[in-house]
Amino acid sequence: MSQHDYQALTTELNSKLAEFRKEIPETMKGFGQLAQAGLAEGALTAKEKELIALAIGIAARCQGCLGFHAKALVKLGCTRKELMEMLSIAVYMGGGPSLMTAAEAVLAYETFGGEKAAS
């Protein structure tokens, strides 16, 4: 299996997003406000919301989403057990294609310093 370099991918995407901020500033401002509002602490924690976002990224098979949300989850202290429980729901809801993308989500999570499986 060819492993994606999620650090390189998120760096490259951030470069393009910076271009977008210059070329389509109102769209990017609106997206940023949407992200801030959606991720704000409320009845759900920021970590719970990032787990949901990663699950949706898996369902949508969005490689960039896997990188950005896995990185955020590591920063928020997501444990491997929490990640695995979310992945079980993502696979349940999305079947085989989500199972393959779930495996890629684990690669992204581990790339950003998330816990590796116990030996």
Could you give the domains of the chain?
Answer: 6-111 (1.20.1290.10)
Q: Are 40 and 88 in contact (CB under 8 A)?
A: no
Which tokens sit at 59? 């369902």
pTM across the whole model: 0.87
Give how far the C-alpha of residue 52 lies from the chain's centroid of Cα atoms, to the nearest Å. 9
Between CA 82 and CA 87, with CA 85 as vertex, the angle to 5 degrees is 110
pLDDT, tens digit only, all 119 positions of the chain: 346 799 999 999 999 999 999 999 999 999 999 999 999 999 999 999 999 999 999 999 999 999 999 999 999 999 999 999 999 999 999 999 899 999 999 999 999 999 999 98
By CB atoms closer than 10 A (0-12, 13-18, 19+), residue 22 is exposed
